[in-house]
Chains A and B, each alone.
Chain A
Amino acid sequence: MEKIVLPDIKDLHLIDVYIQNGGYTALKKAFSQTPDDIIDQVKKSGLRGRGGAAFFAGLKWSFMPKTSSKPKYLCINGDESEPGSFKDRQILEFNPHQLIEGTLIEAYAIQANAAYIYIRGEYHKWIKLLEKALADAYEYGFVGDKMKEKLGGNYSVNIYVHKGAGAYICGEESALMNSIEGKRGYPRVKPPFPAQNGLWGCPTTINNVETVANVPPIINKGWEWFSKIGEPKHPGTILYGLSGHVNNPGIYELPSGTLLTDLIYKYGGGVPGNKKILCVIPGGSSMPPLRGEQIEGIKMDAESLKAAGTSIGTAGIIVMDEDTDLVQVLARIAKFYYHESCGQCTPCREGTGWMLKLLNRIAKGEGSTHDLDLLISVASNIEGNTICALGEAAAWPVRFMITRFRDYFETRVSREVTIPVANKVHSMRHTEYPLAPIKD
């Protein structure tokens, strides 16, 4: 299978190698067409956002006003802080020029006056790599004032790298814009949407790094080619991230709709010690978890996962084997969202703290069945009652983990059962496979 975003080409991060392999030809091709043509092609390609919501990229671009008395801006989201996600850093390391080329094409399509690539502060090394690539692209005349001379036409744009400083919430698009504006990363109430009122009150579009990196091949090879890769409703390849209990964790670029079990067993090399799988989170820590015996036949694309009761998110797959302490895992996830809640909305600010306290109590062996219901109640009261989706991100793992693993959690709050026994009870009740004898 052809790789689109991370092809196996040695030293592709170098501008000369990138150009030898057809780099920046999509940019030239794009500049010979009208901005509307570009948006139309991206729309028809069916490209969907890779940052979590899987929104149609071309449609998002088309929301930008055609005429505006204000400047227009493009933001590229490389905040990548969702636990289980580590795909954008691969693009920054191995194919930064495709990101830059995609950014330029998108900037042209929406006629942006400037583009900002927002990268999380911890990615110091990858920011340096991107800045080096960007400096080379400037020198070759692909970015900035020299563009007009190099590519013809009357459009030029500057790309700036904006370094974050350790706030998960800045991956939320309106918080990201506030962060670029030099403010606390507080999400904004929507509407107005960024296309009307974004960066400094001007029309703005925000796209994920991986989404944008898909644009140059679409322009070069045509939308029809792209729309035929993988699942028709969510076409293209996806950078799947495998982490947790797998033999070969890492990023795998495969067509959308790849089977979750293929990813874990065929590409990820299965679970260490051939253990059974207790739980899989398919799209980063905020997505609803699946039971181990539930994953057979599930395809990894937005629509299939929706049908399976979860979501594609950032396609960061976290695998947990049968010996995992799910209470500890959920408590750790809850701690993360408690730490990262920006504090604007009461349900999220207070609710994340309550959930953490309850889960810590259960982890200490002092929980009760009532706590499980209380957790679901708190989670349900966060959902839908906050400005941004961090509310859902914090509530979903708790609500779905407890609902889907109710038997597991009930044995853990009964206080008499040890973790290995709880896990065995869980697998005995719910697996169709022949059972291994219970070990102490």
Chain B
Amino acid sequence: MEFTFTPENLNRINEVISHYPEKRPAVMGVLYIAQEQNGWISYEVMKEVANVLDMKEEEILGIVSFYTMYHEKPVGKFHLQVCTNVSCMLRGGNKIYDHVKEKLGIENGGVTEDKLFSLEEVECMGSCGTAPMIAVNEDYFENLNIKQIDQIIESLKNK
């Protein structure tokens, strides 16, 4: 599928580029803008980002594959990220993760059939003092128990 940036996003891209002495450093910011517009980073997106920044496609792929926050395949409308690293683990992070897996019937990296939810087991999110946690897209939900997870998922279904 062909991908081009909206005129509004092209303006945002120029703003990002202006932060640096050359174009290339804007790539991380531009990829975020692309992901926001397209939902994930497809090959066409990488091609267009390369085009906008005068970079090679393979350089863009190198960056997308290095950083975990760029989605190389489509994710659900609500991308659930559960931390199971040590501080969360000590406070029940794994139970939360297993519960979400069971409730949604998907594994790590999976997407539900209705494309509403996707799940990712993530590394430390900096919520150690408010563990366990789950992030829904960009928002953190902290100090959780199983009941609250159910409530969050139910409320998202109705959103």
| A interface, CB within 8 angstroms of B | 71, 80-86, 88-89, 120-125, 158, 160, 162-168, 179-185, 200, 241-245, 249-251, 281, 285, 316, 318, 320, 324, 328-329, 332-333, 336, 339-340, 342
Using CB atoms, name the residue of chain B closest to A252: B129
Bound form: Cα–Cα A123–B138 in Å = 8
Please report the number of residue pairs spanning A and B whose Cβ atoms sit closer than 8 angstroms.
142
Given contacts A182-B27, A245-B90, contact A122 B66 (CB under 8 A): no
The stretch from B1-9, B102-110, B118-126 touching chain A is B118-126
Residue of B with least CB distance to A329: B86
Which B residues, 86 to 135, have Cβ-Cβ distances below 8 Å to chain A?
86-87, 89-91, 122-131, 135
**How far, in angstroms, from A123 to B123 measured CA to CA in the complex?**
13
| B29:A125 contact, CB within 8 angstroms | no
* Interface: B42 (CB within 8 A): no
Give the contacting residue for B70; candidates A158, A165, A320; CB below 8 A: A165
Partner of B89, one of A122, A124, A162, A332: A332
**B43 touches A (CB below 8 Å):** no
Residues of A within 8 Å of B152, CB to CB, are none
- Tell whether A184 pairs with B66 under 8 Å between CB atoms, given A316-B128, A328-B89: yes
Given A80-B126, A241-B128, A243-B129, decide whether A166 and B86 contact each other with a Cβ distance below 8 A: no
- Residue on B nearest A116 in the bound complex, by CB: B19
CB distance from B31 to the nearest CB of A (A): 7
Contact of B29 among A163, A281, A339 (CB under 8 A): A163
Q: B28 touching A182 by the CB < 8 A rule?
A: yes
| A180 to B157 Cα, complex, angstroms | 38
Which chain B positions have C-beta within 8 A of A83? 85-87, 123-124, 128
Q: Which 9 A-B pairs have the closest CB atoms?
A: A165-B67, A243-B128, A166-B68, A166-B69, A124-B138, A243-B87, A83-B124, A182-B24, A182-B27
9 further contact pairs, Cβ within 8 A, besides A86-B129, A167-B67, A182-B28: A122-B125, A165-B69, A181-B24, A184-B62, A200-B22, A243-B90, A243-B129, A244-B91, A333-B86
A sample of 21 cross-chain residue pairs with beta-carbon separation below 8 angstroms, ordered by A number, consists of: A81-B123, A81-B124, A81-B126, A82-B124, A83-B86, A84-B128, A85-B126, A89-B126, A121-B67, A162-B19, A162-B25, A163-B28, A168-B123, A168-B124, A183-B63, A243-B131, A244-B87, A249-B128, A250-B130, A318-B86, A318-B128
In the complex the two chains form, what is the Cα distance from A184 to B24 in whole Å?
A: 12
Known A-B contacts A84-B86, A124-B138; the reply to A162 vs B28 at CB < 8 A is: yes
B62 CB contacts on chain A under 8 angstroms: 184
Cβ of B84: which chain A residues have Cβ within 8 Å of it? Answer: 332
Cα of A86 to Cα of B124 in the assembled complex, Å: 10
Q: How far is the CA of A384 from the CA of B24 in the complex (A)?
A: 33
Report whether A122 and B126 are in contact in the complex, using a CB–CB cutoff of 8 Å.
yes
- Chain A contacts for B153, CB-based, 8 A: none
Q: How far is the CA of A243 from the CA of B66 in the complex (A)?
A: 29
CB contacts under 8 Å to A, within B40-71, are: 53, 62-63, 66-70
* Contact partners of A120 in chain B: CB under 8 A: 126
Considering only CB atoms, which chain B residue lies closest to A250 in the complex? Answer: B129
Q: A82-B124, A125-B139, A160-B19 are in contact. Are A182 and B25 (CB under 8 A)?
A: yes
Chain A's closest residue to B53 (CB) is A182
